[in-house]
Structure 1
Amino acid sequence: MIKKIDNITIDIISARLKNVVSPLDIIKWLNNFEENEIKYAIDIASNLTVYTSYEIEEVINNSLNILFPTLKPNDVLIINPIGNFGKSGSMVTYFFQKTDFHRKHKNKVKMLPTVNNFKPESNKNYFLVLLDDFVGSGNSVKTYFESEINLIKDKFEYISFIGVAGMEQGIKLINPIFDRIEIPKSNIFKKAFSSEASYFGYRNYTEHREFCFKYGKKLTSPKVRKDKTVKFLNALGYENSQALVSFSHGSPNNTLPIIWSNKNNWFPLIPRFFSDKISVSKEFRKSISYELSILKEFGSENLQNEFFTHQIKKGKRNFSSVSKIDFSIYAIIKLSRSGFTEINICQKLGILTKDYEQILEIGKERGIFNQGNNLTLFGLEIYQDAKKCIKRKKRNFEYESADYFAVKETNYLPRTFNGKS
């Protein structure tokens, strides 16, 4: 059965998710659910708070300026991400390095993946800052502090924690541990299905909870009690966190599993694990390859010159083909025009930041990007050219699965606007 949803709804959800998720991926995610449940899924997505890389940088930068408005000559900041390499803590370290605070105080900052072997110098004042993107239950932060920090806490003038967002309950748990915690009040959330929250209207959340729990049971592993009864403690997020928060680089496991899981062929809205992101990256690369094949066959001379620079000689004949750089430049153009940030683009393409920067430099040499890493007029011209070419050849396009939504066009003229008819 072809399920239908209008473009306006997709645009609203996409805007709510700050274009971190493409409209097609929203449609694929909605296809996880039964048709009569779509309204609940739309409500969940519409109430999901997503933080972009720029917002993460801003929160970290502002928090550091609040904690350390001035630094004396002998002051040293030790920045320690919570969690192992590749987890959210180390990802936040990447954002920290891009802040104005880091650029300004680079010589006074040391980033340590672990403080186990930390040895202070007698003539310096050390301040420890633990860094993470999200506080869920608070248990992982508390456990980390007790196992890694507690025995050496006297080596520091004081110890603070910086987070981008968190759950009210988890922050209360870790509050006594630190001398100072910096998380914007606006970024502290209550449980999605708490009677104190108002995501779905006061005391009107039962159906949404049952909907999320129904799928959450399928997407998480149950815990077997001593009496052999089964309880799904994580069906609404790790330890029943019931979070509705995600980041451009991924979702915490405290968030509802229907958002991030890829278990049992589930298509995630914003994946959590690195393997999920690789899977999404593979699908995206397939779509780019398909579009380039169309451009190869039907594209203009400009498109042929820019995206098929690899020359192959077979006998007396020469052929042009897509090089790795051509592929990457075209993908970056597509993603940047869709509002994706640098970190999102790197994840989609499965490349490192330094590779991304090198690709942009080659794009600048071709006149596609300017010094601000934005498209030049020529870059915009070939982007529009490619877009028109692909649109012409995709008029009869159908989604890979017959179960995907068919987006229907709607013409909507409001009867009132700003209270006026």
Structure 2
Amino acid sequence: MNNEDFSSKMKDLILHSWDEEIKWSYLNEWINNFNGQVFDMEIEQQYARYILTKFIYFSKPMIREMLKSLYRDYFASPIKQEIRKLEKDPLDFISIKNKFEIELSKTKFIGIGNPSESGAHLLYYFRQVNKLKKDFFADLTSILLANGNDGDKIDYIIKDKNIERLVFFDDIVGSGSQIRCYLGDIIKKIRIHNPHIKILFFSLFSSSEGLILLNNENMFNGKAFTIYELDKTYRLFDDNSRFINSADSLELNKLKKMIKHYGDLLSPKFSFGWNNSQLLIAFSHNTPDNVPIVFWADMKNWKPAFKRFGKEY
């Protein structure tokens, strides 16, 4: 892809798809990171330009629309359908609305992880766009009573007896293993001591394997939902990758060698993204570490195209 074609395509993406949240200057600085360490510099930069045109970026307006869909399609509509089935008059919209409000009042939405992390951060926008009261949101420590002092002997009991539904939330699910480690034992004990509680999980994005793991009977038991499922075709170097067009004059092995070389210099653990995820996806609020590090590293000698704000432990 020559510079003129690239410039035209990227400017269209920035203006019409990315809502001008990514600056043209950032992309040019990123391309200049590739300085000929693997192949001729012009070849490397040609490959960098090509892969930028394949990147999927979700702007603030797009994320907000997805948060609306998540609430409408996986929370509000299913509950209203259940209410309607029990109504004498299924067209009595006032009665259905009132009963839905009662169900909503028995629900707590909970972000995964620390309140400062991205899952909890997005719940702020989730509340805004769906016009929900802040009383419907909580963290685990505020709703759970932990009885016991030692490991497996700790039991978790819901403090508020009016709560009947917990909805856990995160922005993106990779393998799902981190969520299982964080929540697996807690969910198990909540079910034992609070068998009436309905437990759900929502995310904006999830890998197919992560969704399968979370829908295991020992986790969310078929009640984990996502807006955007990322199957294997979203992996950059998968045999059926949607990012590589066989009609394009690009040698996949060269691209892979180039990304690995520069990625290893930045951090071998993230050369192709955490757990070899190989995703080409970023959001207005952050870039996940499932993306190859060459796209998001911000270091003295490396400029990011899609900056990542990492966790500080």
> Would the TM-score normalized by the shorter structure come out above 0.5?
yes
Partner residue of 1:145 out of 174, 180, 183 = 183
Query: For the Cα contact (< 8 Å) 2:18–2:59, is it kept in 1?
Result: no
Letter in 1 for 2:133: K
Residues 1:44 and 1:18: Cα distance change in structure 2 (over 3 Å): farther
Candidates 225, 228, 245, aligned match of 1:182:
225
Q: Which residue number corresponds to residue 127 of structure 1? A: 165
Q: Secondary structure at the match of 2:128?
A: coil
Question: Is the contact between residue 107 and residue 167 of structure 2 (CA under 8 Å) also seen in structure 1?
Answer: yes
In the TM superposition, what is the alpha-carbon distance from 1:64 to its structure 2 partner? 1.9
- Aligned mates of 1:65, 1:13 — CA distance in 2: 28
Shift of 1:246: 0.6
- Alignment RMSD (CA, Å): 2.8
Q: Deviations over 1:44-102 (max 9, x none)?
A: 221111112222222222222222323252552211111223321122122212122xx
Q: Cα gap change, 1:274/1:216 in structure 2, threshold over 3 Å: closer, same or farther?
A: closer
What are the residue-to-residue correspondences of 1:56-205 with 2, within 5 Å? 56-66=63-73, 67-69=75-77, 70=80, 71=100, 73=102, 75-100=105-130, 103=131, 105-106=132-133, 109-112=136-139, 114=141, 116-117=144-145, 119-122=158-161, 124-154=162-192, 155=194, 157-176=197-216, 177-179=219-221, 180-185=223-228, 190-201=234-245, 205=252
Post-superposition offset of 1:19: 2.0
Which residue of 234, 252, 275 maps to 1:239? 275
Which one of 266, 275, 286 corresponds to residue 250 of structure 1?
Answer: 286
Q: Cα distance, 1:11 vs. partner? A: 1.1
Letter in 2 for 1:97: R
Aligned to 1:386: none
**Distance in 2, Cα, partners of 1:107 & 1:89:** 16
Equivalents in 2 of 1:210, 1:17: separation in Å? 29
Answer whether contact 2:204 2:228 (CA < 8 A) is retained: no
The alpha carbon displacement at 1:142 in A equals: 1.5
TM-score (ref. length: structure 1): 0.55
Letter in 2 for 1:68: A
**Offset from partner CA, 1:172-217 (integer Å, 9 cap, x none):** 2222121412212566563121112221125963322222111111
Q: Which residue of 304, 307, 311 maps to 1:268?
A: 304
1:40 aligns to 2:82 (yes or no): no
Give the whole-Å Cα distance in 1 for the aligned partners of 2:158 and 2:135: 16
Gaps of 5+ in 1: 221-231, 277-421
Counterparts of residues 209-220 of structure 1 (less than 5 Å) = 209-220=256-267
CA distance in 2, matches of 1:78, 1:121: 11
What is the Cα deviation at residue 133 of structure 1? 0.9
Closer/same/farther in 2, CA of residues 244 and 98 from structure 1, 3 Å limit? same
Equivalent residues of 1:60, 1:162 under 8 A apart? no
Letter in 1 for 2:224: I
2:154 paired residue number: none
Verify the 8 A CA contact 2:204 2:227 in the aligned structure 1.
Answer: yes
The TM-score normalised by the length of structure 2 is: 0.72
SS in 1 for 2:108: strand
Q: Residue deviations 1:88-122, cap 9 Å, x none?
A: 1122122212122xx1x427613326454473433
- Kindly report which structure 2 residues correspond to 1:17-32, keeping only aligned pairs within 5 A, or say none: 17-32=18-33
Instruction: Answer yes or no: is the 8 Å Cα contact 2:113–2:120 preserved in 1.
Output: yes
Q: In percent, how many aligned pairs have the same letter?
A: 22
Query: Match for 2:113: what amino acid?
Result: G
How many pairs align? 258
AA in 2 matched with 1:30: I
Q: In 2, distance between residues paired with 1:252 and 1:129? A: 22
Alpha-carbon distance in 2 for matches of 1:241, 1:275: 18
Q: Which secondary structure state, in structure 2, belongs to the residue aligned with residue 43 of structure 1? A: helix
Q: Structure 1 132/185 Cα, relative in aligned 2: closer, same or farther at 3 Å?
A: closer
- Provide runs of 4+ in structure 1 moved above 6 Å: none
Return the letter of the residue paired with 2:59: T
Give the greater-gyration-radius structure (CA).
1
C-alpha distance in 2 between matches for 1:9 and 1:72:
47
Instruction: Rate the CA distance shift 1:110–1:215 in 2: closer, same or farther, 3 A.
Output: same
SS in 1 for 2:164: strand
Q: 2:294, 2:116 → 1: CA distance?
A: 22
CA separation of 1:110 and 1:184: change in aligned 2, threshold 3 A: closer
Aligned equivalents of 2:167 and 2:122: distance in 1? 12
1:42 partner amino acid: R
Distance 1:77 1:205, change over 3 A: farther
Report the equivalent of 1:14.
14
